[in-house]
Amino acid sequence: MTDTWDKRRFAGKTAIVTGAASGIGAATARRLASEGAALALCDIREQELDSLAEDIAATTGAKPLVRLVDVSDGEALEAFVRDMADALGRLDIMVNNAGIGCFGHVDEISPAQWRQTMAIDLDSVFFGSRAALPFLRQTAGCIVNTASVSGLAGDHGLAAYTAAKAAVINLTRTMALDHGPEGIRINCVCPGGTDTAMMRAHSRDAEIMRETAAAVPMRRLGTPDEIAGGIAFLASSDASYVTGHTLVIDGGVTAQTGQPDFDRLYRERGWDKKMLQRL
């Protein structure tokens, strides 16, 4: 299979990616760099972040700027965005990707867990965007946020996570309305189950991973590269008339109503078309 995208469509562009050390963030950094973007990356995992930067440098010849940043610290995140935009000379693309999971009902999770989830999954989008907007006004740039299909509907046992991701989606839409007149596009991706280190850490065992994949019409988890492809599209000129959009990348999970598999149930019982028409 040959690649069809323009390998230099981000030449002369700059991008910041948060939560870049692994998973979707790392795949996004690699994808943007492979298409010519100069990068600034942040995460809290120093070894993985440095390794990614070295790998990108070896592949593209340009080493990303990196900094250890806890995105739950709004002041630190804003300072990172401002410093990196200055160091890069401009800012064209802001990817608010950092996120964590949180399991538990509302009467099981602690206030500290709730606040941490909101700080990392939601507040970081606010602070990152807030710091990036003055620079994006100068370049007619764009913001891409990583939300989740869990922000589109509820998930058992994920009260804090689903609430945060739903807020990211509506914050994305509202910012698109507010800043569209300034030439700034703002969109988000909503990944379904994706085979990342975070997914494996929260799934704990292979059986949960298998059940997650079995619930997907395509019968597999997504890959970080597949999500990164969606982010790259939204960040590119190919999406020049796309803003306020929620790009779902989930293998068909949200195409379902959640009702039983009537096709399987009817066929198992030998019901023919004539019988079904009489129901």
Enumerate residue ranges in the chain where pLDDT < 70.
1-6, 199-204, 272-279
Contacts of residue 224, defined as CB under 8 A and 6 or more positions apart, other chains included, come to: 23, 24, 26, 27, 28, 194, 195, 196
> Dihedral of the CA atoms 241, 243, 249, 254 (nearest 10)?
-120
Tokens read off for 150: 């869990």
Give the integer Cα–Cα distance in Å for 29 and 21: 9
Confidence at residue 268, expressed as pLDDT on a 0 to 100 scale: 83
pLDDT of residue 183: 98
* SS3 per-residue string spanning 97-108: CCCCCCCECCCC
What backbone phi and psi angles, to 5 degrees, belong to 62? -125, 120
**pLDDT reported for residue 1:** 37
Active-site position among 10, 80, 127, 161:
161
Q: Cβ distance 40 to 64 under 8 Å? A: yes
> Parallel, antiparallel, or unpaired: how do β-strands 246-249 and 185-191 relate?
parallel
For the record, the structure tokens of 217 come out as 């019409």
Answer yes or no: 161 catalytic.
yes
Integer Cα distance of 194 and 146 in angstroms: 12
Both tokens of 272, joined, read 């023919």
Q: Are strands 65-68 and 93-96 parallel, antiparallel or unpaired?
A: unpaired
Cα distance between residue 25 and residue 17, in whole Å: 7
pLDDT in the model for residue 271: 74
Q: Are 77 and 131 in contact (CB under 8 A)?
A: yes
pLDDT at 173: 98
What pTM, to 2 d.p., does this model score? 0.92
The CB density around residue 259, as the number of other CB atoms within 10 Å, is 6
**Which domains are assigned to the chain?**
14-278 (3.40.50.720)
pLDDT for residue 172: 98
Rounded to 5 degrees, what angle do the CA atoms 194, 199, 200 make? 120
| DSSP helix/strand/coil, 194 | strand
- Asked whether 129 and 175 are in contact (CB, 8 A), the reply is yes
Q: Per the structure block, which two tokens stand in for 136?
A: 């994006």
**What is the reported pLDDT for 195?**
82
Residue 96: phi and psi, rounded to 5, are -85, 95
Strands lying side by side in the sheet with 142-146? 65-68, 38-43, 14-18, 93-96, 142-146, 185-191, 246-249
- Token digits for 35? 């298409």
Query: What's the confidence (pLDDT) of residue 203?
Result: 55
> Residue 64: what pLDDT?
98
